[in-house]
Amino acid sequence: MGVTLDTKVDLSKMQALRDRIKEIQARDAKVRVGVFSSAGVHPGTEISMASLAAAHEFGSEKAHLPERSFLRATFRAKKAEGIALCGKLCKAFIEDRITLQQALGLLGEWGVSRVRDFIRTNQVRPPDTQATMDRKGSTVTLVDTGQLVNAISYVTPFGDGGSAAPVDPEGGE
């Protein structure tokens, strides 16, 4: 004795999901946060902002700068928060509530704000020497004129650090 089930399966949602995944792959969907060549030159010098950022991030024996990671250290400190945000953005993208461009833009904006906050709340180590603080008039490591902090941006496959349209990945307004 057998049972026959007359069931129709709607595969349109599965196909839509496949199409979304193909879009991610085709766009090489990733976000880079940092200081890029488009940031220009540090005022009063011939040093590019990107070179200055790299010298601080990794240290420079030639310039007598210790390693003062502000990018890697931020993302290490904010790893759990970033993973949670990625999960929310992925879900919103899969459910077709946001576009890939919006998801990557929101992730980029999050990264930029966290790096800037990390610097502004003086979490960069090692701290400046007293002589450096006296010279620049600030006790915040890596903040003198604000040029470096303001040069932090993000890049996606859709272009340089443009502002993402405000979107709530949770689906609210």
Query: Cβ distance 82 to 115 under 8 Å?
Result: no
Tens digit of each residue's pLDDT (9 = 90 or more) over 141-161: 998 888 999 999 999 988 866
- How far apart CA 155 and CA 139 sit, in angstroms, is 30
Average model confidence (pLDDT) for the chain? 87
- How far apart CA 144 and CA 77 sit, in angstroms, is 24
Q: Give me the sign of the Cα torsion angle 50, 54, 60, 65.
A: positive
Phi, psi (deg, nearest 5) at residue 89: -70, -40
Tens digit of each residue's pLDDT (9 = 90 or more) over 15-67: 888 888 888 888 888 999 999 999 999 988 899 999 999 999 999 999 999 99
**Mean pLDDT along residues 127-153:** 90
> What pLDDT sits at residue 115?
97
Longest Cα–Cα distance of the chain, Å, equals 91
